[in-house]
Amino acid sequence: MVECGPASLLVFTIALCGGTASTLLSKVMFGFTTHDSEGVEYHYERPLMQTFMMFISMSLALPIYYGYLFFSGEQFPKIKTKAWFVLAAPAFADMLGTMFMMIGLVYVEVSVYQLVRCFVIVYVAILRRVALKSETHGYQWLGVILNAASVCIVSASALFAPDNGNVLIGIGCINFGCFIVACQLVLEEAVMRKGSEEEDDDEDQGTPPLVVVGMEGIWGSLIMLTVIYPITYYLPGNDHGSYENFYESCIGLWNNPALFRTSIIYICSITTYNVSAIFITELLEAVWRAILENFRPIAVWGTDLVLFYALTSGAFGESWKGGASWLQVFGLVMLLLGTATYNANVKWPCFKYPFTKDGKAPHMATPTMDRMTSSPAINKTPRGRSPYGRLGTPQMGGLRPRAGSHDQEAGYGAVLGK
């Protein structure tokens, strides 16, 4: 039975607001105009800078976590030196996936971006079947087909919109980013399975999830500064001869105070989402992570419409595009139906449904397979295992999973299945 008291509802609401705000602000920042170092005005379409900001916000998880321990008087966890290095690989994959998605967001509306991201569940299902030889039940394949159809419908709605522009480029970049994220999650599951076969180490207290997030943020920031930005500096483009110039990106932020404030709010919203999502992972069952990700596309699109019509008089946000928007609504409904079918929340009479001992379906997936709610490096893993060099059971201060909860038993299988 899923419990949800006032505190849990508050954490859920904060996570939903933080996730919605971070997605919306990503698109809002692309709509700002600013001036470069030579005083030339331009639109601030900087996908790499937004990716860099995301990693900066992830890095803030470290001072938040250790500050929490310091002021609460709890002992700092012992973290193995190896743990600080093995997270560079998922940080690199996270960076590539986010970078391509941010590039795609430049060309599409934020609601389309949020829904097209849901194609990651299709890639994960196929890769798990092909690479891991995992069993996928018939009702799950139906859910995958419905999700794939929903993304096709949403993509078609973007093409039918009056101002479609380079929408195909945007959808293609988002899909490629989804594929990278899916490869990352499936690789994590493969390593997790191998690690779960090893003997338990009772002295290893594990790496807390906020430390995992913070370390990935630090690694991602370093990779952006030492690898990605030097490469994009020498790649030809329209940014003073480069594809994206880091110095000009910083100057553009500084030259527009409203843009600078928005970027600070953007970083804070991602940090808020990260921290609150950790609490959801620790305190609630896996179904609440799925509910959170189901609500996000609705919250993002609804808020974007309010932003356009009620708050900014059309300066920011998204307008209702008649038939194209109705087609998008149909795609959203099919997406929710597909996810509910995959998770066995909606049962079809023509399929058999295997259940765990507690009467729950053995698999749980979220529409976007968000890293904070789907990664085994951040969420609990079987037998207290993390997929990266046995990092251990996540914990935050003295908070642990509720005794006998479904998460405590199922671990990562509650998100992607075993």
Residue showing tokens 């970027």? 263
Instruction: Centre a 10 Å sphere on the Cβ of residue 254 and count the other Cβ atoms it contains.
Output: 12
Other C-beta atoms closer than 10 Å to the C-beta of 49 total 23
Measured in degrees and rounded to the nearest 5, phi and psi for residue 38 equal -100, 5
Calculate the dihedral angle through the C-alpha atoms of 5, 6, 11, 16, rounding to the nearest 10 degrees.
100
Rg of the chain (C-alpha set): 21
**Which amino acid would we find at residue 81?**
T
| Confidence (pLDDT) at 256 | 95
So what's the pLDDT on residue 318?
82
Position 234 scores a pLDDT of 92
In terms of residues, how long is the chain? 418
**Dihedral sign, CA of 346, 349, 350, 353?**
positive
DSSP conformational letter for 248 = H
Which H or E element spans position 279? helix 257-283
Predicted local distance difference test score (pLDDT) of residue 415 = 32
Enter the tokens of residue 327: 């087609």
- Residue pair 279/210 in contact (Cβ under 8 Å)? The answer is no
β-pair partners for 380: none
Model pLDDT, residue 201 = 47
pLDDT average per 10 residues of sequence, the chain (418 residues) = 64 86 89 92 92 94 90 84 78 89 88 85 85 82 89 84 75 91 78 52 60 88 94 91 93 95 94 82 61 77 86 81 86 86 82 65 55 53 37 37 38 31
Tell me which long-range contacts 157-164 makes (C-beta under 8 A, separation of at least 24). Answer: 157/112, 157/324, 157/325, 157/327, 157/328, 157/331, 158/108, 158/109, 158/112, 158/324, 158/328, 160/323, 160/324, 160/327, 161/109, 161/321, 161/324, 162/321, 162/324
Closest residue by Cα to residue 373 from 263, 278, 267? 278
Whether residue 101 contacts residue 117, with contact meaning beta carbons closer than 8 Å, is answered with yes
Residue pair 21/231 in contact by the 8 Å Cβ criterion: no
